Amino acid sequence: MNIEQMKRVLDKIKEYQSIIVFRHKRPDGDAVGSSKGLCEILRLSYPDKEIRLLNSDYSDYVAFLGGEDAPVEDEVYARSLGIVLDTATTDRISNTRFSLCREIVRIDHHIDVKPYGDVVWVEPERSSTCEMVVAFWDAFRTELKINREAATYLYTGMVTDSGRFRFRSVSGDTMRYAGMLLDEGVDADRIYSQLYTKELNVLHFQGYMYGKIKRTENGVAYLYVSRRLQKRFGLSHEDAGAAVSYMDSIRGSLIWAAFIECKDGSIRVRLRSRFVTVNTLAEKYHGGGHDCACGATVYSKKEVKRLLADADARLKEYKENNEGWL
C-alpha cells in the first residue's frame, strides 16, 4: 500500500470544488463499481462539492448498478479535477473530454505502460481498482464516509475482477476489505443473482458454443463469434464477448481466446490464461491489460491465425519449462 500516493490523491480532491470521475470504455464491473463507488464516497464526505460521473458508453452486464450524470458544458470540465479509474492508457478512457479537466488523478491496478496524469496511484498487484478505492476509504476513515450503496458498487467490482475471489491477485487484504464492505450491509446474494441470471437466448448461445470450441496443437482453446452468429442468437456485443468465459476450465488449455466480430469489421480479441503471462501477446496486437486477462484488436482472419500461432508457441514454451500446470 502506498500511503504517500494515497495522501496526494486525497489532498488533490480537497483542493477542488468540482470533480469529474472517468473510467474505461466497454466498462466491466470494476470500472463501473470503482467509479460509482468513489463518487458516492466523495458525495457523502464532501456534500458541498460538485461530484459528477461522466462517461460515454455503458454496460448491460452491470446496468443494475444504475446510471451516470447528465452531460455538462466544457466550462465545467475546465474548472474540474478529473479522476480516472481502472484505465491504463488515455485512449481507453470512455469520455474523450477528460482532457479538458484542469488536472488528472489516475487510480489504477493495470500495469503502467503509458504513464499519464498529474497525480498517479497505481498498484498492479491489486486484484481490482475497487479494492484500491476501499483501501483509500479505510486509510482515511476519519475523513471519508461510506454507505451501503457505495459498498455495493465496490463489492461488485471486487467480485467480478477477481474471478469471484479466485485469482492469484486476491490477497488477505482483498478479503479483509471485502469483509469491511459486508459490514456496511452489502447483500452479496442479490449481487450474485444479478451477475448470474441470464436471458434464455444467451444460455442457448452458450450451449451451442461449447460444441464449437477448438484447440491449437499445444492446447490454446478458442472460439470465433461471427456477426452472423450474433444476429442468429440475438446477442449484444457484450453477450458475444462472454464466450471467453466458456473456455476457462479446460484441462491443458492454459491459454484461451474469444474472437468477436465487431460492426466496423474489426475483430475484438479477449485473451485469458492461467499461470502463463499473455499480456505481451496482446500488446503485439494493438492491445494490453493484465498478465492473465487482456484484450487486443485484429483486422483479418489472417491476423487471427497469426495470434493463435503466437499463443500456441507461448503455451508450448510454458509447458516445456514448467511442471504441475493444469
Q: Which residues bind ligand AMP (CB under 6 A)?
A: 24, 26, 28, 88, 92, 270, 287-290, 293-297
Closer residue to ligand AMP (CB): 128 or 218: 128
Closer residue to ligand AMP (CB): 61 or 155: 61
The CB-of-10 to ligand AMP minimum distance in angstroms stands at 25
The CB-of-296 to ligand AMP minimum distance in angstroms stands at 6
Closer residue to ligand AMP (CB): 40 or 86: 86
**If you write DSSP's letter for every residue of 162-217 in order, what string do you get?**
TTTTTSTT--HHHHHHHHHHHHTT--HHHHHHHHH---HHHHHHHHHHHTT-EE-T
Closer residue to ligand AMP (CB): 42 or 307: 307
Q: Which residues pair with 272 in a beta bridge?
A: 256, 293
The CB-of-57 to ligand AMP minimum distance in angstroms stands at 13
Q: Which residues contact 22 (CB under 8 A, 6 or more apart)?
A: 35, 54, 55, 82, 83, 84, 85, 87, 93, 94, 95, 98
The CB-of-205 to ligand AMP minimum distance in angstroms stands at 18
The CB-of-75 to ligand AMP minimum distance in angstroms stands at 31
Closer residue to ligand AMP (CB): 104 or 267: 267
For residue 172, CA distances in Å to 24, 150, 168, 176, 177 come to 27, 21, 11, 6, 9
The CB-of-168 to ligand AMP minimum distance in angstroms stands at 15
Cell of 262: 465487431
Helix (H, G, I), strand (E, B) or coil at 249: coil
Closer residue to ligand AMP (CB): 79 or 164: 164
Distance of CA 186 to the CA centre of its chain: 21
Radius of gyration of the chain (CA): 20
Buried b / exposed e along 208-240 (16+ C-beta atoms within 10 A): ebeeebebbebbbbbbbbeeebbeebebeebbb
Closer residue to ligand AMP (CB): 62 or 293: 293
The CB-of-285 to ligand AMP minimum distance in angstroms stands at 8
Closer residue to ligand AMP (CB): 194 or 245: 245
Of residues 322, 313, 304, the one with CA closest to residue 220: 313
Grid cell 450524470 in the structure block, residue? 69
Rounded Cα distance between 219 and 319, Å, is: 10
Rounded Cα distance between 114 and 311, Å, is: 24
The CB-of-25 to ligand AMP minimum distance in angstroms stands at 9
